[in-house]
Amino acid sequence: MNKILTFGLIIPLLAIYGCKKFLEEKSDQRLSTIETITDMQALLNFYNDLNYNEPAMGEICGDNYFISDAVFNQRPDHERNLYVWAAAYVFPEASNSWLYGYKQVNIANTVLQAVKDKETSINDKVRLANIKAQALFFRAKAYFNMVSIWAMPYDQASSTQLPGLPLRLDPDLNKVSTRAGLDETYAQIIHDFTQCLPHLLEKDVIQTRPSKGAAYGMLSRVYLQMREYNQAGKYADSALNIQRTLIDYNKLDANANFPIALLNAEVIFESRTGHTLIQQASTFVSPELYNLYSSNDLRKTIFFRPSGTNYLFRGSYEGAASYFTGISTGELLLTRAECLIRSEQINKGLEDLNQLLINRLRSGSFVPIKGLNKDEALKMIKTERRKELAFRALRWADIRRFNQEGDAIILKRNVNGKEYTLMPNDLRYALAIPEDIIQLSGISQNAR
């Protein structure tokens, strides 16, 4: 087992950095320690690699927070660059989200290869198919997280002309990496998620493992980002048909340090991110975000606590200072509501929104929302997405998507007396790939 875990840590490093000695090793030698379904599941249970270290850029690059000049000045160069949307050098060498993403891909590919190699000798075909499905889920999730950061937003008309990601589909380190098109990247993500669906359990033994509900939820995210709203709504509905429980925030203890528990009733899939730039104790909530909550909105006190004249976020579904990035019923209700409204089913969409809000507002203060036209309802949904999904690394994707549709959201930072601006649809909405990766792999850098 130690050999398996060591493999899971080291091989992805070699895949990215191309050590010649190891590249010459045969693929089957690397798989020789994976003999049983138990071995395969052990790799897929490796929480620190497959559920933790999710990319934080979806929050770092958004507009839900700010840091003080003192904190900014203490951070390393790459973090300061990332905070102000610099065109280059926004990631450190050797240890960054690109590396973590491809580590997940390589673990998934290793398990998929082991399934292929052992399928004739392992008799438990149902469990083996489930192992394969879990691996496909993790590979698709990794690619989706990365394409949301290192590629421009998806648009059907331009997706064949824009670069996507290098798609590694097996653990063979001898293959040269090249960037697939954006359309090919999304097609691979959708393929993996849909292929895994038939063989996942509706709910697994714990939310850290992929389930059918989690795959439906991820497909809903993918199609939402692609602005294919009928599909996004369909998959959100499928997930909610498996799990639709909401927490009544009136029953939470607002005096607790972290009022919302880990693996609570709303969590369909558990994952989280952590990043030194957005440490909970030094990351202040944007006044614009904070002021969106009414005095009767319990999220205002459950999510935030005062820190001098500012506020800190404490509403993570991790029950701790780290940031939840998984799939929840609240997110899916908002997605389904948005998609219903966009398809002219405004009343049904508002029913979903009201179902969420009655569990978020102080008892006795809830008044159902009704009688809105499409534009008014969409505006409200966009606001509620920002409020409900704050600090879940989803804001950046929403800004990218809304700006494609003409919302003209301009991002601004004020640091040391200087203002930094990111205009809608700027090329910097695809972050710079780490420069050492470009040098070592020869893949193309994002346009600037």
Token pair, residue 246, equals 């909401």
Contact status, residue 354 vs residue 368, Cβ threshold 8 Å = yes
Helix (H) or strand (E) holding 327: strand 327-328
Backbone φ, ψ for residue 351 (5° rounding): -60, -45
Whether the predicted model's global pTM rises above the 0.85 cut: yes
Spatial distance between the Cα atoms of 243 and 266, rounded to a whole number of angstroms: 8
Alpha carbon distance 8, 351 (integer Å): 45
- Helix, strand, coil % over all residues of the chain, rounded to 5: 50, 10, 40
Chunked in runs of 10, what are the mean pLDDT values of the chain (448 residues)? 39 36 36 84 96 95 98 97 98 94 97 96 97 98 98 96 97 90 98 98 97 98 98 98 98 97 98 89 97 98 97 97 97 98 98 98 98 98 98 98 98 98 98 96 96
Helices (H) and strands (E) in the chain, counts: 20, 12
Residue entry with tokens 């989803």 = 394
Both structure tokens of 375: 């534009």
Average pLDDT of the residues of the chain = 93
Contact between 344 and 275 (Cβ < 8 Å) = no
